[in-house]
Amino acid sequence: MATFISKSPEQTQNLGAEWGRAAKEGWLIGLIGDLGAGKTQLVKGIARGLGITQRVASPTFALVHEYQGGRLTLCHIDLYRLDTPSQIASAGLEDSMNSPQGVTVVEWIDRWFGSEPPGGWSSADASKTVKAPAPFYRHVRIALVGETEREITYEDFSR
């Protein structure tokens, strides 16, 4: 598990841009964090790293925004308004998360998986195994440390 301390929205976006430059087809990135923690700032950076120039906004009311025109398509999903996996399935979002095209980033992923990554992937810690809906999954937690400071911890899983 890696930890990054961000002292500003720009640093959070820069971390996302690094991830976007490294991203490959089929990546799923799940974000957990309180309101205002910086989830959308991270997604803005991922879009920038993918070469997407469109304005990125949280899809809280639309549930999904798709951005094209970069190296890969970015599917940005926000589960804040959905409370259970059955509501997610009813909204038709499960397919986007189970076999992502391009890169899929899901805010409030804990509403689908719970607070821990699901079983079926393997992490660097071989004792952890989770259910793999995508070939690569990055599990991200963003915690408020101060007014502008965030602790971003993440762990990568693959099949």
- Max CA pair span of the chain: 41
Measured between alpha carbons, how far is 15 from 17 in angstroms, rounded to an integer? 5
User: Would the pTM count as exceeding 0.95?
Assistant: no
CATH class held by domain 2-152? alpha beta
CA–CA distance, 1 with 22 (Å, rounded to integer): 18
Over the stretch 9-24, which tens digit does the pLDDT of each residue have? 999 999 999 999 999 9
Mean pLDDT of 128-151: 79
- Domain range annotation of the chain: 2-152
Give the helix/strand (H/E) hosting 150. strand 150-158
69: which strand partners? none
Contact 54, 69 (CB under 8 A): yes
